[in-house]
Amino acid sequence: MPDVELIDTFQRLGMALGIGLLLGVERGWRHRDAPDGSRAAGLRTHAVMGLLGGVCGALLPVIGSAGFAALAIAFAAVLLAYKLLESARDGDVSATGTFAALLVFVLGVYCMQGDLRIAAAAGVTLVVLMAFKYALHDWLGKLTWPELRSALLILGATAIALPLLPNVAIDPWGLINPRELWLLTILVAGASFAGYIAVRALGGDVGLMAGAAAGALVSSTVVTAELGRRVRAGESTAADAAAAACLGAAISVTRVAIFISAAAASAAPVVGPPLACAMIVFLLGAWVLQRRRPGAIVSDASSAMHSPLDLVEVGRFALLLGGVIVLGRLVADAFGEAGLLPFAAAAGLADVDAVALAVGSLMRGGLDAGAGGHAILLAALVNTFSKGVLAGLTGGWRYGGLYLAVALVATGFAAAIWAFAMPWLTPLFSFEPSHMQHGFG
C-alpha cells in the first residue's frame, strides 16, 4: 500500500516549487535581456525560494516555532541584502519584487500547513499582478481623479455603512430592505464599472467589436446609439456597426441572466434557457455580419460613457430600482400577472436590469417563478427592440434593419424555447408545470 502521508507531502512540496517556478518564469522573462548573475532573483532562485518555504514548513513540527522563526529571518535577511545591492546598482526603489519573493517563501510554507487550493489561487494571483504591471499602470493613468474618488467613496460607504443599514423591510409592502437594495445597486454598478474600466483601458485604438463588448457591460443602449452616430459620421459601415450592436445585445442578455441568478436563483431555470438561446443567436448574428472583414477602428471608445460609480449615477439607479420594486408590487397586488406584464414592458424601455432585479425581489416576496419569468423575458424583449428603433434613428434604416433582423431571429428562437422546450426542461429544475401557466401561487 502506498504511504498516503508521504504522497501528500510530495504533492505539497511540488505545489510550493510550482508557485516559485511560476513567478520565476514571469520574473525571468521580464529580465530576459539582463546578463547572467545581474539580477538578485530569477527563475531558478524563485523556484528555490518556494521549495525552501515548503521545506521549512515541513520541518516546523520538528524544529518548533523558534527554529522556524530563525530560518525565516535568515532567509529574509539574505534576500533583502541582495535586493539592496541590486537596487543601489539600478537606482530602483520599487519594493514589489522583494515583497513578491517573500510571499513566494510564505506560500511555500503555507503549502505544507494549509489548503493547497488557497495557496494555488494566491500564487496565481501574485503572478498575474506582477505580469500585468504596465497594463495596470496604464489603466490607472487613464482614470481621472473624479472617477477614482467616486469609486472609492462608493466602495468605502459599502464597506463601512452597509453593516449599519437595517436588514429588514421598511416599506408597508415588506419589499424595500435597505441593505439588500444597496447590495443589488452595487452589484449592477460594479459590473458596469468593470466594463467602463475595460473601455478606458482599451483606449482609442480598439476594434469596433471589442469596444462594443466592453461598453455593453456599462450600457448596451449607449453603445447602440454611439454605433449609430459612427455610421452617420462614416466611421463605420452599417454591417460592422450592426455586428457590434448584436455583440453588445448578447452581453446585455448575459447581464440579465447573471443578475437574476444573483437576485432570485429560483427564476434562473425559467428565464435561463430562452436568454441563453437569444445570446447564442446574437453572437451568431454578429459573426455572420462581421465575417467578411475586420471591424473599423473606433476613436475614443469611452467618449459617450460616464463612470457607473459616480455618486449621482449610483443614487439614481438605487432610486429607480426601489421605485420599480414598489410599483411592481402595487401593480401585481392590484391586477395580478395581467398587470405585471405591461408594467415590466414599460419599465423595460428604461432599464431591463432594474426590472430583472425588481422582479427578483418580488419573487422572494412570494411572486410565482413563472409569472416573474414572463415579466423578465418581456422586459428583455421590449428593451431589445427599443434598441433596434434607437439604432434606426441614430444610424439609418440599414443599420437599424440589420440589427432588428437578428433581434427578430433571436426573439423567435427564445420564444420557441419558452413555448415548446420549457415544458420538458421544467421538471429537470423541479418546477411544477403549472408555473408555466399561472400567475401567483
Mind listing the pLDDT tens digit for each residue in 210-237? 767 777 777 777 788 878 887 887 877 8
Cα 433 to Cα 152, 261, 275, 425, 429: the distances in Å are 47, 21, 20, 10, 11
- The predicted pLDDT at position 405 comes to 92
- Distance between CA atoms of residues 133 and 153, nearest Å: 25
When pLDDT is cut at 50, 70 and 90, the band that residue 147 belongs to is: low
- Distance between CA atoms of residues 19 and 353, nearest Å: 41
- The predicted pLDDT at position 109 comes to 92
What secondary structure, in 3-state letters, does 364-383 show? Answer: HCCCCHHHHHHHHHHHHHHH
- Distance between CA atoms of residues 320 and 186, nearest Å: 13
* Selection from 249, 384, 230, 234 nearest residue 304 by Cα: 230
- Distance between CA atoms of residues 19 and 180, nearest Å: 39
Count how many Cα atoms sit within 13 Å of the Cα of residue 74 in the half-sphere of its side chain. Answer: 9
- Distance between CA atoms of residues 25 and 135, nearest Å: 18
Q: How large is the C-alpha radius of gyration of the chain?
A: 27
The model's pLDDT over 369-419, given as tens digits with 9 standing for 90+, comes to 677 777 888 888 888 888 888 888 888 889 989 999 999 999 888 888 877
pTM of the predicted model as reported, rounded to 2 decimal places = 0.58
- Distance between CA atoms of residues 16 and 48, nearest Å: 9
> Over 50: is that where the pLDDT of 295 sits?
no
- Distance between CA atoms of residues 340 and 428, nearest Å: 27
> How is residue 297 annotated by DSSP?
B
Classify residue 334 as exposed, middle or buried by CB count within 10 Å of its CB (0-12, 13-18, 19+): exposed
- Distance between CA atoms of residues 130 and 107, nearest Å: 16
The model's pLDDT over 327-357, given as tens digits with 9 standing for 90+, comes to 776 776 676 666 777 877 777 776 777 777 7
Cα 371 to Cα 23, 160, 184, 434: the distances in Å are 52, 37, 21, 11
Phi, psi of 297 (to 5 degrees): -85, 135
* Selection from 304, 305, 311, 300 nearest residue 146 by Cα: 311
* Selection from 417, 362, 223 nearest residue 301 by Cα: 223
**Is the pLDDT higher at 71 or at 334?**
71
**Is the pLDDT higher at 83 or at 289?**
289
> Over 80: is that where the pLDDT of 183 sits?
no
**Is the pLDDT higher at 309 or at 87?**
87
State in Å, rounded, how far the first CA of the chain is from the last one: 58
